[in-house]
Structure 1
Amino acid sequence: MSGLWGVARAIMGREFLRFVHQRERFLAALVRPLVWLLVFAAGFRAALGLSIIPPYQTYITYETYIVPGLCAMVLLFNGMQSSLSLVYDREMGSMRLLLTSPYPRGWLLFCRLFGATLISVLQVYAFLGIAALFDITMPVWGYVAVLPGLILGGLMLGALGLVLSSFIKQLENFAGVMNFVIFPMFFLSSALYPLWKMRESSELLHDICAFNPFTHVVELIRFLLYLQMNWQALAWVVGSTVVLGAVALWAYDPSRALMKRKG
């Protein structure tokens, strides 16, 4: 157990050191959601009407509505960013050495994933703090209650990044794949518009958004911020995390890569 804990501290400590040395990464993680919150929301506010939907008990401003989606955006972009560094580590050989160590491969990947998730959560709270300066606030205890949802959502989106990085052979190709995944996941979700608005436009579009796991990350965060639980969203996020984690564990099997090279 002491060996496993030592490995966990080393891997997660490396993630935090990398984050500290890349201050622009922290700023970029905040600029994206703040642009949506302070610029785009001002234009959408007049054009988009919102009905009273759970977990809200009254009419809310559009800025208040999109805050959970922007929190999930931070998790999504940081999960993909962390996976980009995995592609780099694999090209440099450090990831290969790590996976061929005597420690369980699942534990090594989980530590890598959990370290990146904790960094994402810190960025989300920084964003929520800045939003509060503009009078966009949630219930006080909601900031505490949302923590498990942020961690679970970060793990799911990080696991998705692991799966993508396992199939990318060159670092140059990963940016295109990120854009191909990130933007459809974000825009085809309830991050910016309620699902009932999607249904008014297209039943097919609504179904795609409802099937999108990112939608359920957004809704899990939204309900927890208001001290409520969305059990359907929780089931979707947990199930997606398990499936994506299993695929990532299979994809990062060094023996499988060795057999492919021999073939």
Structure 2
Amino acid sequence: MNGYWGVSRAIIAREFLRFVHQRERFFAALVRPLVWLLVFASGFRAALGLSIIPPYQTYITYETYIMPGLCAMMLLFNGMQSSLSLVYDREMGSMRLLLTSPFPRWWLLVSRLAGATAISILQVYVFLAIAALFGIVMPPLGYAAVLPALALGGMMLGALGLLLSSFIRQLENFAGIMNFVIFPMFFLSSALYPLWKMAESSSLLRDICAGNPFTHVVELIRFSLYLQVDWGALAWVATSALVFTALAVWAYDPARGLNRRKP
């Protein structure tokens, strides 16, 4: 087990070193949610009236409502950004070298996911601290209670990005493919508006949003911030994380990659 943990620590440390040397990633990850929180929320506040819905016990501001969605957005974007580095590593050959090591492939990939998720959680907490400076605060214990939700949601979204990266053969194709994943997942969710608002315009659209795994990540974070558990969202996110991880491990089989390259 010492060897396993040593490999895991080395992979996670490599992710943090890459993050430290790419400081623009940190600021870019903060700019997106802050723009939504401080700019777009001001305009949407008057247009979107919110009723009292769980887990809230009273009326809330629109800024408070979208906070969990913006936290989940950071997990989503960072998970996809980590997938971009996987495509780069594969083109450079370091990914193949990693996967042909004597350690199980699933352990290596999960360690990679854990490193990316830890960085995402760090960014989310910095965002929550900045939001608190603008008066948007959560229950004090909620900041600790949300940690498992962030970890599980980050692992699920990171595994999805890992799975998608296995089908991307060239780095140049990454941005286009990711745009067909990130924006639909974000906008077709409860991140910016509750599902009952969606149902007012289209029941089909509401059902699509309800089936979106990202919606359940948002709701899991939302309830955790208020010291509650959305068991349905928890089951959905945990199941999705296991499925995406299993598919990614299968897709990153070096033998399959060698076979595909044969003429």
| TM-score normalised by structure 2 residue count | 0.99
SS at match of 1:262: coil
- Return the alpha-carbon distance in structure 2 between the equivalents of residues 259 and 74 of structure 1: 36
Q: Give structure 1 regions of 4+ aligned residues with deviation exceeding 3 angstroms.
A: none
Deviations 1:70-89 (A, max 9, x none): 00000000000000000000
For 1:167, what is the secondary structure of its paired residue? Answer: coil
Partner of 2:18: 18
3-state SS of 2:169 partner: coil
User: For 2:166, what is the secondary structure of its paired residue?
Assistant: helix
Q: How many residues align?
A: 263
SS in 2 for 1:146: helix
The structural deviation recorded for 1:251 is: 0.1
| Structure 1 spans left out of the alignment, 5+ residues | none
CA RMSD of aligned residues (A): 0.6
Give me the TM-score of the superposition, normalised by structure 1.
0.99
Q: Displacement of 1:6 after TM fit?
A: 1.0
Residue aligned with 2:261, SS: helix
Identity of aligned residues (%): 81
The equivalent residue for 1:256 is 256
Query: What residue is the counterpart of 2:235 in the other structure?
Result: 235
Q: Does 1:217 align with 2:223?
A: no
Other-structure match for 2:120:
120
CA distances 1:18-42 after superposition (whole Å, capped 9, x unpaired): 0001111000000000000000000
Whole-angstrom distance in 1 between the partners of 2:261 and 2:169:
13
**What are the superposed Cα offsets for residues 192-242 of structure 1, whole Å, 9 maximum, x if unpaired?**
000000000100000000000000000000000000000000010001001
Letter in 1 for 2:42: A
Q: CA deviation at 1:185?
A: 0.1
CA distance in 2: counterparts of 1:107 and 1:240, whole angstroms: 18
Q: Map of 1:29-68 to 2, 5 A cutoff?
A: 29-68=29-68
Residue in structure 2 matched with residue 87 of structure 1 by the alignment: 87
Alignment correspondent of 1:191? 191
Secondary structure class of the residue paired with 2:123: helix
For 1:94 and 1:222, locate their aligned partners in 2 and report how far apart those are by CA, in whole Å: 38
| 2:5 alignment partner AA | W
How far did 1:260 drift?
1.9
Deviation at 1:119, TM superposition (A): 0.2
Looking at structure 2, the residues matched to 72 and 5 of structure 1 have their Cα atoms a distance apart, in angstroms, of: 28
Counterparts of 1:158 and 1:192, CA distance in 2: 21
State the shift of 1:259 in Å: 1.8
Question: Offset of 1:9 from its aligned partner?
Answer: 1.1
